[in-house]
Structure 1
Amino acid sequence: MNVLLLAYGSLGDIQPFVALGKALEQAGYKAVLAAPARFESYVAEHDLPFSPISDALVELADSAELRASREGDAVQAGVAWLDALRRGKDAATAVLEDSWAAAAFGPDLVVHHPITAGQHIAEKLRVPSVLASPQTAYVPTDAFPCSLISVPDWLPPAFNRFTYTLLGLSGRLLSKPTDRWREQVLGLPRRRGQHDPLRQPDGRSTTVLNAFSPHVFPPAPDWPESVHTTGYWFLPAATDWTPPPALAEFMHAGAPPVCVTFGSTVGGDPRRLARTVLDAVRLAGVRAVLVSGWGGMQLDELPPEVMLVDHVPFDWLFPRVSAVVHHGGGGTSAAAVVAGRPQVGCPVVADQPQWARRMHHLGVAPPPIPQRVLTTRALAEAIHLAVTDPGMARRAERLGRLVNAERGAEAAVAVLEKLVRRKA
């Protein structure tokens, strides 16, 4: 079985596909991962065949204008997104062309992230496509709203299924370059439902792999049998990574610190966010490791109880901290769950509010604090609760044990094997 893994987005979107690729190789199959070019060195560290895709759409999403719009009013956000869509047409074309080039080795199966064109490539190759979703955003249900659509809590449950329709409409905003690419490059005719990743060209339901734990987000009771919630897809913990001497010294110099990481998801003023974090850490009376990442929290001077680092493997760092303060992204939430540590969610966009609310519902985090209303006092109080509440610590440890007992990537491979056998 030759499998094309097609992924796009941030590191939290790419890492599960790397884990699935390694699980496929372990089972004796060939897997090629196509993902944004910026992750080439990361994928190379795991010795997985890689095909680079243009970074253009990732760079657009991380532009200063869109970051600033996260803290502005609705009008400012609307103008920023309309301008991004205008510029996104050429970027989308580059991404589509690179995605098709990645299929040159002749896969028997295309497993793709929802924001990619995997179903179109599979249709051209006449092979099955499999939707691999890192969040609860793509399979409609009455049980909860689409995680990528922000809705007020007071809306009745009857509105939940409609939110998935809204997501489908937003996904059509870049349909013109996709339609043109389908016709001119792939030579595919227009057909009803061609943009629906949940349906194969013959009308059958697409197999869906939910790459998250049923202990964290139980499957919706009205999801079809084609949807499989396998557990998280994790890479084996790094055993040969050595921390820089300064970080190792800091970790051993006192009580376990909290970790603060907002990844690439910050507003237009990273310096203000960093100052809020520093003041909150001081007010809470804790030590802290700040992981800057893409967010680039900007600081000139740090107190001795705080250390700033660029990139540290979460599977090394998180088990060594007392709590994790983060943006609520699915990947970071999962890493904190696996480490068995309490969390503080400070969400901004997309699926982050839902994951942050879910962690609070599970009792492993205080109520989330959206970054747009983040204050020093509120963050300090949340950090204090996360590091001192024994019940929260016990629940986080128990959830970590449950999730660590899963073998999500291996379970996903078993689903793919059955799919290919049925096709044969």
Structure 2
Amino acid sequence: MKVLIMTLGTRGDVQPFVALARGLLAAGHEVVLTAPHRFAGFVTSHGVPFTGVDDGPMRLMDDTAGAGAVIEGGIRARLRQARTMPAMFTQLLEDCWVVASRGAGAGADLVVHNGQILAGQHVAEALGIPAVLALPVPMYVPTREFPWPGAGFPPWLPASANRATFLGMKAPVAMFGRVVDRWREHTLRLPRRRRRHDPLRRPDNDQGTVLHAFSPAVLHAPADWPDSVRTTGYWVLPPSSEPLPDRVEEFLSAGDPPVFVGFGSMSGRDPAHSTAVVLEAARRAGTRLVMATGWGGLADSAAGDDVLVVNEVDHQLLFPRVAAVVHHGGAGTSGVAFAAGRPQVVCPFVGDQPFWARLAHRRGVAPEPLPQRHLTPSGLAAAITTAITDSDLARTAEQLGRCVRADHGVGDAVTALEGVALAHRPT
């Protein structure tokens, strides 16, 4: 079986698919992972065949100030982004078809895609092969049990309203539908049909397979999800074979377990202010700190006797050794924190981050979320103090971590993909 994996987004949107690709390779299958060019080194360093496509909207992340304005800005910033985004997909879509039709992905039996790249189900339709929607966040499949994770809907909505909030996934069609339709017509030579933009539906309008790459121990599969939707467990790369850097080991050994703070690629408007808030909160909480700079999320000039600043560090090795994990609520970071079995403090910015923040609180492993726009030294200090002193939080986090680590996420996903490919073979 040859699998073409197509993904778009930040590193958190790419890394789970690298883990999946490694699992497919280990099972004897052929794999090509397609993502923006910027991820070539990261993907190939894990032994996964890679072919790049245009960076498209990822270029918005290259301007820290601009990205921060969109993340924290109001409706005007979002409208400006909406006007520029469609054109950013034109070359990306063309590149995806080149990869799939005559490039490294040619001859694939199956397309696995994350929806964000927009091309997945259309490429599969043009090739006459199945498409599988694969997601680290339950963004597409409606349910009565929780609201759409793509926006900060209040958790107290009635069940009937929860399902309605998933209409939020119509926004990409409204924004990018014309671009995709032109590409379908002129490049893929595909006719227009009903529900062509719905990745939950196959071309014959039957339900397509959806794989959710998170733990059922963290989020139980809702009773109203169809059988075509499967929750496998997290798709996690194995921990690095290299130990933590010497300076990290020395810092961990020099005192009580520190608190980790990192906001990933979420920069905000003023990283220096965010850094000052974090440092003052740690001082008030009386804790040592490992602070990750990420993609500009926190300033890198704050090192001291009680503060270690790192750029990139293996979270799977570090998180089990800290007193608590303070993070932005990205799906990938949340998954590693759940698996580590450590208490959390979640400070969400946008998108699905408030969803994971509320879920961590409901699961009893974190105090109430602290949205970034309301973050203060006193509020963060209080949350950190709770996380490192509340025995119930610690016990619940440890129990949940054991459950998450018992999953076989990649293995179950590989088995599911083998089943999809087998069902599509001519008899």
TM-score per shorter chain, which class?
over 0.9
Question: Is residue 57–residue 95 contact of structure 1 (8 Å, CA) maintained in 2?
Answer: no
3-state SS of paired residue (1:209)? strand
Question: Is residue 124–residue 188 contact of structure 1 (8 Å, CA) maintained in 2?
Answer: yes
How far residue 66 of structure 1 moved from its aligned partner, in angstroms, is 4.0
Q: Name the structure 2 match of 1:253.
A: 254
How far residue 205 of structure 1 moved from its aligned partner, in angstroms, is 0.4
Q: Name the structure 1 match of 2:231.
A: 229
Question: Is residue 8–residue 115 contact of structure 1 (8 Å, CA) maintained in 2?
Answer: yes
Size of the aligned set, in residue pairs, is: 419
Q: Name the structure 2 match of 1:4.
A: 4
Find 2:178's aligned residue among 176, 179, 204: 176
Q: Name the structure 2 match of 1:419.
A: 420
CA deviation profile, 1:175-211 (whole Å, cap 9, x unmatched): 2211111111111111111100000001110100010
Which 10-residue stretch deviates more, 272-281 or 168-177?
168-177
Distance in structure 1 (CA, Å) of the matches to 2:11 and 2:24: 20
CA deviation profile, 1:289-326 (whole Å, cap 9, x unmatched): 10111134125343310011100011111112111000
Q: Name the structure 2 match of 1:60.
A: 60
Shift >4 Å, 4+ stretches: none
Which 10-residue stretch deviates more, 102-111 or 194-203?
102-111
Q: Name the structure 2 match of 1:354.
A: 355
How does 1:24-423 map onto structure 2 within 5 Å?
A: 24-60=24-60, 63=63, 64-72=65-73, 77-103=74-100, 104=103, 105-116=106-117, 117-239=119-241, 241-423=242-424
3-state SS of paired residue (1:283)? helix
Letter in structure 2 aligned against 1:386: A
Question: Is residue 85–residue 174 contact of structure 1 (8 Å, CA) maintained in 2?
Answer: no
How far residue 249 of structure 1 moved from its aligned partner, in angstroms, is 1.5
Distance in structure 2 (CA, Å) of the matches to 1:325 and 1:301: 17
Distance in structure 1 (CA, Å) of the matches to 2:262 and 2:54: 26
Letter in structure 2 aligned against 1:275: A
Distance in structure 1 (CA, Å) of the matches to 2:312 and 2:48: 21
Distance in structure 1 (CA, Å) of the matches to 2:155 and 2:225: 22
- With over 3 angstroms needed to count, the CA separation of the structure-2 counterparts of 1:171 and 1:286, relative to structure 1, is farther
Distance in structure 1 (CA, Å) of the matches to 2:59 and 2:271: 17
**Unmatched 5+ stretches in structure 2:** none
How far residue 167 of structure 1 moved from its aligned partner, in angstroms, is 2.1
Distance in structure 1 (CA, Å) of the matches to 2:408 and 2:198: 29
- With over 3 angstroms needed to count, the CA separation of the structure-2 counterparts of 1:203 and 1:215, relative to structure 1, is same
Distance in structure 2 (CA, Å) of the matches to 1:233 and 1:301: 33
Distance in structure 2 (CA, Å) of the matches to 1:142 and 1:154: 12
**Unmatched 5+ stretches in structure 1:** none
Question: Is residue 261–residue 290 contact of structure 2 (8 Å, CA) maintained in 1?
Answer: yes
How far residue 242 of structure 1 moved from its aligned partner, in angstroms, is 3.4
Question: Is residue 113–residue 132 contact of structure 2 (8 Å, CA) maintained in 1?
Answer: yes
| RMSD over equivalenced CA pairs, Å | 1.4
3-state SS of paired residue (2:386)? helix
3-state SS of paired residue (2:72)? coil
Distance in structure 2 (CA, Å) of the matches to 1:415 and 1:369: 37
- With over 3 angstroms needed to count, the CA separation of the structure-2 counterparts of 1:332 and 1:171, relative to structure 1, is farther
How far residue 58 of structure 1 moved from its aligned partner, in angstroms, is 1.5
Distance in structure 2 (CA, Å) of the matches to 1:181 and 1:199: 19
3-state SS of paired residue (2:69)? helix
Distance in structure 1 (CA, Å) of the matches to 2:408 and 2:302: 43
Letter in structure 2 aligned against 1:122: A
Distance in structure 2 (CA, Å) of the matches to 1:217 and 1:154: 17
Question: Is residue 343–residue 366 contact of structure 1 (8 Å, CA) maintained in 2?
Answer: yes
Question: Is residue 200–residue 206 contact of structure 1 (8 Å, CA) maintained in 2?
Answer: yes
Letter in structure 2 aligned against 1:264: S
Please report the TM-score for the alignment, with normalisation by the length of structure 1: 0.96
Question: Is residue 150–residue 168 contact of structure 2 (8 Å, CA) maintained in 1?
Answer: no
Question: Is residue 149–residue 163 contact of structure 1 (8 Å, CA) maintained in 2?
Answer: no
Which 10-residue stretch deviates more, 36-45 or 346-355?
36-45
Which 10-residue stretch deviates more, 132-141 or 57-66?
57-66
Distance in structure 2 (CA, Å) of the matches to 1:48 and 1:299: 31
Question: Is residue 67–residue 267 contact of structure 2 (8 Å, CA) maintained in 1?
Answer: no
Letter in structure 1 aligned against 2:210: V
Distance in structure 2 (CA, Å) of the matches to 1:400 and 1:153: 24
3-state SS of paired residue (2:89)? helix
Distance in structure 1 (CA, Å) of the matches to 2:388 and 2:85: 43
Distance in structure 1 (CA, Å) of the matches to 2:392 and 2:294: 31
Distance in structure 2 (CA, Å) of the matches to 1:62 and 1:156: 40
How far residue 248 of structure 1 moved from its aligned partner, in angstroms, is 2.2
- With over 3 angstroms needed to count, the CA separation of the structure-2 counterparts of 1:148 and 1:86, relative to structure 1, is same
Distance in structure 2 (CA, Å) of the matches to 1:382 and 1:405: 29
Letter in structure 1 aligned against 2:183: W
How far residue 276 of structure 1 moved from its aligned partner, in angstroms, is 0.2
